């Protein structure tokens, strides 16, 4: 770890020793803005990459018996929730048993979340809202897509309800991008927090991720080209070859 122009610079590493720069939530917002507003890929294109990789990571965690397993997706209101709903569709398309618990009622959802819920309605998945009865302990795996890197203070009441359900379930949890309740920059938890066995972070790892708060860490390729990162002031060698997911080592 070094300090450049007053900014903390951290690098994670791939299993074969390549350096992977960590970014702040502000940098991720700028990368997203450049891609969506100026060059592409679009938000939905990136979300499809993220959802596919999250679904495949869930299957990896479940092992050979995934067809008999029960997967519970906890989906928040924003892009993180939409990514979880996208993963639920990819899982259901493959024949997995999926239940989605969403904070936003499908009929009231708009934007990317609304589009993902609309598509999910055509897949063989069960969709519940957060205030309907569900038992998280009946799941074999929980996918946490409640908040992500956009946490602003302690989780709100509905977010808190889903996070506490994951805590009480006693089953493995897979978090999308950043464990819900963790500040992506400081790594601190201002309120209740998900404790995942594995986190699949998107684009580049966030500076606040640690082994203690994120568990086993993997990085997913969401299709952002080098020029977008360069416009945001970030440059690094290509990371992905034949794989779209890489396991990362934490900084020393």
37-83 tens-digit pLDDT: 999 999 999 999 999 999 999 999 999 999 999 999 999 999 999 99
What pLDDT is stored for residue 87 in this prediction?
Answer: 98
Q: pTM value? A: 0.95
Parent domain of 201: 2-249
CA-CA-CA-CA torsion for 24, 1, 173, 220, nearest 10 degrees?
60
- Give the closest residue to 130 by CA, choosing from 172, 77, 69: 77
Q: Tens digit of pLDDT for each residue in 101-154?
A: 999 999 999 999 999 999 999 999 999 999 999 999 999 999 999 998 988 899
> How many CB atoms are closer than 10 A to CB 220?
26
Per-residue pLDDT band at 1 (split at 50, 70, 90):
very low
Q: What is the mean pLDDT of residues 1-5?
A: 35
For 151-198, write each residue's pLDDT tens digit: 889 999 999 999 999 999 999 999 999 999 999 999 999 999 999 999
- Here the CATH number for the domain that contains residue 144 is 3.40.50.10260
Residues 123-147 as b/e (b if ≥16 CB within 10 A, e otherwise) read bebebeebeeebebeebbbbbbbbb
Q: So what's the pLDDT on residue 4?
A: 32
The total of structural domains in the chain comes to 1
* pLDDT for position 110: 95
């Amino acid at each position: 770890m070094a300090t450049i122009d007053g900014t903390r610079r951290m690098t994670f590493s791939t299993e074969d020793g390549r350096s992977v720069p960590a970014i702040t939530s502000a940098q991720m917002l700028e990368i997203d803005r450049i891609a969506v507003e100026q060059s592409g890929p679009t938000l939905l294109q990136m979300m499809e990459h993220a959802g596919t990789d999250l679904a495949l990571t869930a299957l990896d965690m479940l092992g050979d018996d995934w067809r008999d397993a029960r997967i519970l997706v906890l989906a928040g209101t924003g892009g993180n929730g939409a990514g979880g709903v996208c993963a639920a569709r990819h899982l259901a398309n493959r024949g997995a048993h999926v239940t989605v618990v969403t904070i936003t009622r499908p009929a009231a959802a708009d934007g990317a979340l609304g589009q993902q819920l609309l598509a999910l309605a055509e897949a063989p998945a069960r969709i519940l809202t957060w205030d309907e009865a569900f038992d998280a302990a009946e799941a074999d795996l929980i996918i946490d897509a409640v908040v992500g890197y956009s946490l602003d203070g302690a989780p709100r009441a509905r977010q808190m309800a889903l996070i506490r359900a994951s805590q009480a379930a006693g089953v493995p949890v897979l978090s999308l991008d950043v464990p819900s309740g963790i500040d992506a920059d400081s790594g601190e938890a201002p309120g209740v927090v998900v404790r995942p066995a594995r986190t699949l972070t998107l684009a580049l790892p966030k500076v606040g991720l640690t082994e203690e708060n994120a568990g086993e860490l993997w990085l997913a390729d969401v299709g952002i080209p080098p020029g977008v990162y360069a416009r945001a002031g970030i440059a690094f060698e290509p990371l992905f070859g034949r794989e779209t997911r890489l396991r990362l080592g934490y900084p020393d």
